[in-house]
Amino acid sequence: MRRLLRRCIVWSAAAGIVAAPVVLEAEVVRVVVDRREDVLGGQPFGTVGAYEKLVGRIFFAFDPDSPANAAIVDLALAPRNSDGRVEAFAEFMVLQAKDPSSRRGVAWLEVSNRGGKASLSYFNRAPRRSNDPTESDEFGDGLFMREGITVVWVGWQWDVPEVEGLVRLHVPMVRPEGDPITGLVRSDWTVDEDVQVLSLSHRGHRAYPAVDPASDQNVLTVRSDREGPREVIPRERWTLLAPSEGPETGRLTHIALEGGFRAGHIYEFVYVSQEPRVAGLGLAAVRDVASYIKYALGSEFPAERVVAFGVSQTGRFLRHYLYQGFNTDEDGRMSVDGMLVHTAGGGRGSFNHRFAQPSRDAHPYSAFFYPTDIFPFTSRTLTDDVSGWEDGLMARTREDHRPKVFFTNTGYEYWGRAASLIHTTPDGARDVSPLETERIYHLAGGQHFVGAFPPDESTRMGDADVFRGDPLDFLVVLRALAVDLVQWVDSDRPPPASRYPTIADGTLVDPSGVAWPAVRGVEEPTGIHVAYRAEYGPRFRTEGIIDLEPPALGPPFPSRVSQVDGLGNEAAGVRTVELRVPLGTYLPWNLRTGYTGGETALTDFLGTWVPLAPDRAARRDHGDPRPSVAELYSSKAEYLSRVRQASAAMVADGFLLAEDVPRVVARAEEMWEWVTGRGSD
């Protein structure tokens, strides 16, 4: 039986009035709109018309006894209100068509990466990203607005930095009666430049403070590489510090080392903290906002269907959301209808355990061994023969509540985020097909984000034409896929079939089996980011409590990557115009050449671009085995003709919007001029 609904008043502070009473679900108890304004002064977006922006706060009350909340770590120990519920609130921002009849009925719920707002730059091609978009260049070409989509951002992360415009979730500390809860917290740093003091936080986020400076559980270590042996630094050489101003005033959130922290080393600090946050409420908050959008009578931003979008950190969040069964709300209803999970690789994250730090991630050479890349990886339930565990990403999600999901990863995630594990068996020996409600798209040749073009000379690696940063533009594909996903959710129109490398067709291989061309100035990688069978202590899997820091590492899960073509470009997946009509080699990995320490390791996030020689003479001078531009194309006209043909094929396949073809052709022409402008013939 449905729980009795609670009535509440929605206040509009911007208008200075009290709105009529509306009916909200018990989980969302109040929505406060602090600001309501027209977007771009009421400028119309196609036939949809004008948009409005709502900025405010949304208040939650979670039932600790509800089965829907059973997975939230420490919820039962959190303080409760007079109704026996645990309260939290979040900032939100919404963009929606002013005329309700013009709204498509689909809400795009972006799970904000570290509190920011990415959708307008990713899908509207906005040239400038903003936490409070108000100018035309912050809305781009208005794709989502022209589609009538409601765009929603809501806070879910408790440790977001104190930066204006970021959305966060304000959650309670766990403070049971009696002694406070204490536990181990871990921070680590890859130090590329000498520094005297380090923050215990990650990327400027809020840190758990150390609470007992004298504890013998506080241990600072140093090592020279990722898997290298740790050397304990004597206690008398380091000191815990408290800032004298700012949000962490008086809290021991920094550490200083006698002689300083030296470049080329990895430092790690395990320490005792207390009063953990109920971080897992972020998962429930996203669930309940989706349900509020769909089911609440009088919702400020209603829609019939919700598509959630997560990129990188929040792509991993959505995988975690699915794994812990959060797509069924407290009233037993399905919350999210579709998901675009972008650049998450095989990861989940620190989103729901005691002393969780949601900002922490995992990369080839930073943020090591946090509970990010851990079994299971595939949606289908499989058995890991090494550990004996049987599990799957969808094992706890009701079959009738499975959303329609796109998993999109660039080549970087295969090299730097263990992405192959989402479609192989744990031993890496066999392919695993996605569910009928899923698609997997490998955005071939891309790095974690689109790199700059033309490249800055400072990014040149050595004296060859090799540049740190990969300019392959996969966002044109992502725009098309976003439209495909909305259509799949909205009208059940089937999207393009999955495209990713497989063992069966020989395109998914061990890194040692990649057939790289011998290009001058390019040193082949000797390693890849791997996911370990990590052990965090006996209570981690069952109670979400880490007792072992750092974790004990078991055998790694085998990760694989895409095979390449004769130019060294990834052969499988969704190949953009840059790979179909190439002017260079787009490597989705980059070595830390030139850094102090870890020079043979992969650089976090980045790829490498190696343009072709413009002509035969330049190719011979460079000893380049790849054909030159002049040897591939008889003229600029032929090149652009082939670009248009490749673009048309991508449109036909559903991987490019027809309206984006002129943009693709213009960028290809710009790249032609840059590459061929360096010729010697």
Strands of 84-214, DSSP E: 86-97, 106-111, 150-154, 169-170, 182-191, 195-199
Residue 179: per-residue pLDDT: 82
Cα 334 from Cα 327, distance rounded (Å): 6
For 506, the token pair is 């020989």
Q: Which residues contact 267 (CB under 8 A, 6 or more apart)?
A: 188, 189, 191, 198, 220, 221, 222, 257, 261
Computed on alpha carbons and rounded to an integer, the radius of gyration of the chain in Å comes to 25
* Secondary-structure percent of the chain, ordered helix, strand, coil, rounded to 5: 20, 25, 50
Low-confidence ranges of the chain (pLDDT < 70): 1-26, 679-681
For 225, the token pair is 């590489």
Cα 424 from Cα 507, distance rounded (Å): 13
Cα 320 from Cα 202, distance rounded (Å): 20
Q: What residues does each domain of the chain span?
A: 6-172+279-351+369-448+473-482, 182-274
Cα 117 from Cα 167, distance rounded (Å): 9
Please, are residues 28 and 64 in contact by the beta-carbon 8 Å criterion? no
Cα 123 from Cα 133, distance rounded (Å): 14
For 603, the token pair is 């650089």
| Residue linked to tokens 């009701």 | 398
User: For the residues of 560-581, what is the DSSP string, one character each?
Assistant: -EE-B-TTS-B-SSB--HHHHS
Please, are residues 498 and 481 in contact by the beta-carbon 8 Å criterion? no
Phi, psi of 339, rounded to the nearest 5 degrees: -145, 135
Rounded to two decimals, what is the model's pTM? 0.95
| DSSP single-letter state for residue 101 | G
Tens digits of residue pLDDT in 319-378: 999 999 999 999 999 999 999 999 999 999 999 999 999 999 999 999 999 999 999 999
Cα 413 from Cα 562, distance rounded (Å): 11
Residue (of 607, 315, 312, 560) closest to 445 by Cα position: 607
Q: Are strands 608-611 and 467-468 parallel, antiparallel or unpaired?
A: antiparallel
Cα 105 from Cα 110, distance rounded (Å): 16
Please, are residues 359 and 157 in contact by the beta-carbon 8 Å criterion? yes
Q: Which CATH class is domain 6-172+279-351+369-448+473-482?
A: alpha beta
Cα 181 from Cα 216, distance rounded (Å): 18
Tens digits of residue pLDDT in 371-429: 999 999 999 999 999 999 999 999 999 999 999 999 999 999 999 999 999 999 999 99
- Prior bond to 550 cis, omega within 30? yes
Q: Give Cα 9 distance to the centre of its chain.
A: 35
| DSSP single-letter state for residue 233 | P
Residue 25: per-residue pLDDT: 53
Cα 639 from Cα 632, distance rounded (Å): 9
Cα 502 from Cα 170, distance rounded (Å): 43
